[in-house]
Chain A
Amino acid sequence: MLLGQIGHEGHDHGPVSLTDVTDDWPTWRQVVEVLTYQSGYNTSVVLASTTLLGIAAGIVGVFALLRKRSLMADALSHATLPGIGLAFIAATVLGIEGRSLPVLLMGAAATGVAGVLCVQWLLRHTRLKEDASIGLVLSIFFGAGTVLLSYIQTMGASNAGGIDAFIFGQTAAMSASDAGLMGVIAVVSVLFAIFLYKEFALVCFNDAFAKVDGWPVSWIDLAMMGLVVGVTVAGLQAVGLILVVAMLIIPAVAARFWTEKLWQLLILAAIIGGLSGYLGSATSALLPRKPAGAVIVLVSGVLFALSMFLAPRRGVLAAMLRRLRLQLDIATDHMLETAYLTASNAPSGLDAAALKRFKKQRGWNTMLTLMVGIHAGRHGYGRLRAHAFTPTPRGLERGQQVCRNHLLWEQYLISYADIAPNHLDWAVDQVEHVLSPSLVAELEAALAGRGVDSFLRSDDGGMPQNSAVAGEPR
């Protein structure tokens, strides 16, 4: 039986069918109360602290991302588990309350740092690469932690229950003072990050320069790692050690889609992180069986997906639109070029038969032709009506320009790049559309006197033959 042996106490009501369980939806008033911090002291403190934690993780995560240490944080957070176990055992042996949060968090921080040091030791002294080192430390420390936790369970300590809540996180069990501790660590981390902004920025963008300039790079790195430790440890109880790394990575990566400026990146990451923390723990407070850690990560995951698709410049949608526009530009160019080349025979443009020939030659379908027609119309290059394309004077001018660029580039390739004349067409077809005016001017200067323009003004008005151009002596 899969995963079945250890039961979930408290949920054991016998088999129930799928549709039997319904979540009680909160009333509108409850929603507003939670979101405006009016639903009791404890809930409000937890909500405020997770929001602060989200902000802190967002800010610290930006530096970790820029320093390419995102997954180092993963190793760190997994490596906190043995520390929690050791701290519990040590505290119990010493007769202190084992579940006291500061004790556990200190243990967590200690082994977390030890994990990071192990990664660096492996990197420096062995031939293992970063991915393997991180994976090793992550799994081995976590495995050692599970051994310790299973040992604690056999110790028979009455207060051992709930230690493993640190793995998946458990906001519901947090007291106001626990949450307060988390909030304080978060605020201190943010203050440190602001205080060391200049140093962090320098090390993130050019650590070699920072070293040459006399900055203590390894100390700055250490401070950065310290902040990552702080945020990780603070988030342990609320979101759990597996998911706390997501709070560091996701807001930073999501914010990265929107901006190229560091300070904007920090603010955006803080907003995304804070919003995730706020909405996540609010949802968790309102709905049963919605662990805050998971909801926080899912909210930030949604924000990440939105950023990835919708961001104006680096977003996927924007990139697709750019590509579509470029394709339409190029297709329109092709049509105008053909219209220009046939203009002396057919001054009214491409009639139905010519257009059909052209479509077949280019392999266009009707949809693309239609879109090109609209595109050309919008740019004032011509009109597509009743299966015929009528270029405007401006469209013909553009056609001539494209044609001329084609010839110029062709000549350039023959003269300078030593491309065989019968290999030209393919190479030229892609480039003719993207020649900038300055490049055209340069080509004109380089190829002056080669008679490129004579082909354009040829009296018969027919298609300038590539072979004729290619046949020219160099």
Chain B
Amino acid sequence: MKLIPALDLFPLMAAILAAMICGLLGNFLVLRRQSLMGDAISHAVLPGLIAGFLLTSSMSTSIMLVGAAIAGVLAVVLIELVRKVGGVEPGAAMGVVFSVMFAGGVLLLEQAAARSVHLDPDCVLYGQLETLVWYQAPPTFAGLFVWSTVEAIPRQVWLLMVVGIVSLVFVVGLFKELRISAFDPGLSTAQGIHAGFMHYALMLLVAAATVASFEAVGSILVIAMLIAPAAVARLLTDRLVSQIGVSMIAAVLCAVLGYTGATIVPGWFDADSVNAAGSMTVIAGLLVFLAAVLSPRHGIVSRKWRQRLLARSAAIDDLLATLYRLQEAGRRVVAPSDIALPIPGKQQQATRLAVKRGLVAETGRGLALTDLGLDSATRLVRKHRLWEDYLVRDVGLEPDHVHETAEQLEHLKVSPDHDDVQVDPHGSRIPPG
């Protein structure tokens, strides 16, 4: 078989465009905690789609798309209505509206199917990327750069391009308004940017994106792409602009990897291709998982690592403070077995690190604070006793209740400042700072 480079050009274009449009709008849905509106809308457009078909009795796509868009907006309005007028919890309101509308769609679909039309419920869910494959593609790469290539672009891709441009203009043009209404709807309304209007404008675009995308990629992928790229970006960055950038990269990755994974990879094993839209969502899932685990700031690994570092430095602190107290009691050199740290199990590691950092000297008879160690131990114990003093004097705790709390507070960078206090509630001297 000869390799035709442009065979998959149009499905890939459709997949990338759909993923990017949904990913762009999804950023604001995720920030506004309305991710599930995408879910609701993409289910609720079904009756509009089929009604558009039944009314015109033809497969005239424009009518069907108009019907779908109307149904999408209707769903948004109905959800608001059930939520506000009926006083129903938002999640449940969404569930009621979209499932009833979807059920209506399924029923209409069966009627439409009876009219011997090739309407299949599955296509609404999975989409039909495969049908966009360009079998008349020129056999060479160079053959692509002719006008007939533009003419061959399928309608679905054109539609996606139009919706994509509209979405881009919307987001760029109203970026400030979108940002403020996403983070603080109250403030935005107070400043004259009507948060409700922004909500409906965004929802209208989500409906348009849903309708334009699902013809090519199906409603399940729409839901995934509305949420997953934004979620990946949310896990990786803290600023809206970079979040949008990262989400666009993630969307393209999902589309390209998902599509090639579904069509080309099975070919290596002599298997038939699998559902491309589905495999794009699987890639999206992988990306979310990777971001959740490996994100430098918010990832699980880095958080665990930071916790470990913190636990380690707390253990060293505890060792120093313990040695200081023993030294106060007149024991300068202490055998390791005589030391009991507040959190057991970390003593050996803490000793090793403290010795390595020159805080503790290990002699034949045991451990002793070095000058450097004495310095930080003094600061620690001062902090501990100042906290105890604060807890008794200002918080009003009993003196015998404050040690455990102070044991935790001493690891903070701050301490209450009482220069005139000389003695802690237990009568120990507070070392001068």
Spell out A's residues near B (CB within 8 Å): 1-8, 11-18, 20-21, 65, 68, 70-71, 74, 122, 125-132, 134-136, 138-140, 142-147, 149-151, 154, 164, 167-168, 242-243, 245-246, 249-250, 252-253, 256-257, 288-291, 293-298, 300-301, 304, 308, 314, 316, 319
Contacts and interface: CB of A to CB of B under 8 A. Distances in A.
Contact of B106 (A13, A139, A143, A294): A294
A140 B227 CA distance: 10
Contacts of B231: 128, 132, 136
A291 B281 contact: no
B116 A13 contact: yes
Contact of A297 (B39, B64, B103): B103
B262 A147 contact: yes
A65 to B, nearest CB: 6
Contacts of B36: 71, 131, 134-135
13 contacts: A3-B128, A5-B118, A6-B123, A126-B292, A132-B231, A135-B223, A140-B288, A147-B275, A147-B278, A147-B279, A150-B126, A294-B103, A314-B87
Nearest to B103: A297
Which of A11, A12, A68, A150 has the largest number of chain B CB atoms within 10 A? A150
Contacts of B230: 132
A250 B115 contact: no
Contacts of B226: 135
B281 A139 contact: yes
A6 B119 CA distance: 8
Given A65-B92, A130-B33, A142-B281, 11 more contacts: A2-B215, A4-B59, A4-B123, A11-B114, A21-B115, A126-B298, A142-B220, A242-B102, A289-B111, A296-B103, A308-B86
B94 interface: yes
Contacts of A253: 88, 92-93, 95-96
Q: Which 8 A-B pairs have the closest CB atoms?
A: A143-B281, A246-B99, A301-B100, A146-B278, A297-B103, A139-B224, A140-B285, A147-B278
A13 B115 CA distance: 8
Given A135-B35, A146-B220, A243 B274 contact: no
B122 A167 contact: yes
B298 to A, nearest CB: 6
B99 A71 contact: no
Interface of B: 30, 33-36, 38-39, 43, 54, 57, 59, 61, 64, 82, 85-89, 91-96, 99-100, 102-104, 106-107, 110-111, 113-126, 128, 130-131, 215, 220-221, 223-224, 226-228, 230-231, 234-235, 262, 271-272, 274-275, 277-282, 284-285, 288, 292, 298, 300
Contacts of B111: 21, 289
A135 B100 contact: no
Nearest to A6: B120
A12 B114 CA distance: 9
A127 B110 contact: no
Contacts of A154: 271-272, 274
Contacts of A149: 275
The winner among A12, A18, A242 for most chain B CB atoms within 10 A is A242
A68 B54 CA distance: 38
Given A2-B59, A3-B120, A150 B275 contact: yes
Contacts of A298: 100, 103-104, 107
Given A6-B120, A249-B99, A250-B100, A136 B274 contact: no
Contacts of B38: 135
**SS class, residues of chain B in contact with chain A:** helix
Contacts of B300: 125-126
Nearest to B85: A316
A296 B279 CA distance: 32
Nearest to A146: B278
A246 B95 contact: yes
Interface centre among A127, A139, A290 (most CB of B within 10 A): A139
A3 B118 contact: yes
Contacts of B285: 136, 140, 143-144
A296 to B, nearest CB: 8
A316 B82 CA distance: 10
Contact of A8 (B100, B120, B234): B120
B96 A246 contact: yes
Given A127-B234, A150-B274, A65 B89 contact: yes
A62 to B, nearest CB: 11
A8 B272 CA distance: 22
Nearest to A247: B99
Contacts of A135: 35-36, 38-39, 223, 226-227
A12 B38 CA distance: 34
A143 B224 contact: yes
Contact of B86 (A17, A129, A143, A257): A257
Contacts of A125: 292, 300
A367 to B, nearest CB: 24
Contact of B122 (A6, A11, A142, A294): A6
A18 B275 CA distance: 33
B102 A243 contact: yes
Contacts of A304: 96, 100
Among A126, A164, A243, A257, the one with the most B-chain Cβ atoms within 10 Å of its Cβ is A126
Nearest to B30: A132
A446 to B, nearest CB: 35
Contacts of A168: 106, 121
Given A3-B215, A21-B114, A146 B235 contact: no
B182 to A, nearest CB: 13
B95 A139 contact: no
A253 B87 CA distance: 10
Contacts of A138: 39, 223
A253 B223 CA distance: 25
Nearest to B50: A3
Nearest to B227: A135
A128 B114 contact: no
Contacts of A150: 126, 274-275, 278
A246 B272 CA distance: 36
Given A8-B120, A294-B103, A245 B228 contact: no
Given A18-B54, A122-B292, A70 B89 contact: yes
Contacts of B54: 18
B272 A245 contact: no
B387 to A, nearest CB: 28
B107 A290 contact: yes
B318 to A, nearest CB: 28
A8 B128 CA distance: 15
* Residue from B91, B93, B122, B221 with most neighbouring chain A CB atoms (10 Å): B91
A289 B280 CA distance: 33
A130 B227 CA distance: 12
A146 B110 contact: no
Nearest to B230: A132
Contacts of B119: 3-4, 8
Contacts of A144: 278, 281-282, 285
A356 B223 CA distance: 60
A242 B215 contact: no
A21 B115 CA distance: 7
B91 A71 contact: yes
Nearest to B39: A135
Contacts of B220: 139, 142-143, 146
Contacts of A71: 36, 91-92, 94-95
Contacts of B95: 70-71, 74, 245-246, 249-250, 253
Which of A15, A68, A132, A256 is packed against the most chain B CB atoms within 10 Å? A132
A7 B227 contact: no
A132 B87 contact: no
A448 B91 CA distance: 52
